């Protein structure tokens, strides 16, 4: 059995080790799953992409924005689930 360094392996298997010359901006947004519409999420993605372009000079074509929606049962503040906190505030 032979072991090869990453450089040697990348030379023989370039499809498995893509060359990364420029890093893509990656933004991960986490929100509670409480009814954000498709249009709102679309606007959020477009807005964050534009913000990175305007502020940091990043290329919008390579900017990645991911929105994760988390159930309020799985999101805690101060040691308590958001579901409980929302019920108390109503």
Q: What residue spans define the domains of the chain?
A: 22-89
pTM exceeding 0.75: no
Superfamily of domain 22-89, CATH level 4: Macrophage Migration Inhibitory Factor (3.30.429.10)
- State the greatest distance between any 2 C-alpha atoms of the chain, in Å, as a whole number: 65
62-89: per-residue pLDDT in tens?
999 999 999 999 999 999 999 999 999 8
The label of the residue with tokens 């805690």 reads 76
Q: What is the pLDDT of residue 90?
A: 86
Q: What is the C-alpha to C-alpha distance for residues 6 and 3, in angstroms, rounded to an integer?
A: 9
pLDDT band at 1 (very low <50, low <70, confident <90, very high): very low
Active site residue 25: yes
Q: State the catalytic residue, choosing from 14, 18, 25, 60.
A: 25
pLDDT band at 10 (very low <50, low <70, confident <90, very high): low
Q: What is the pLDDT of residue 7?
A: 53
Query: What distance, in Å, lies between the first and last C-alpha atoms of the chain?
Result: 65
């Amino acid at each position: 059995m032979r072991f090869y360094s990453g450089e040697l392996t990348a030379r023989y298997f370039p499809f498995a080790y893509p060359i990364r010359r420029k890093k893509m901006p990656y933004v991960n947004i986490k929100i509670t799953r409480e009814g954000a519409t498709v249009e709102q999420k679309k606007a959020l993605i477009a807005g964050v992409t534009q913000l990175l372009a305007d502020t940091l000079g990043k290329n919008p074509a390579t900017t990645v924005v991911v929105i994760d929606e988390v159930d309020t049962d799985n999101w805690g503040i101060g040691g308590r689930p958001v579901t409980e906190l929302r019920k108390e505030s109503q």
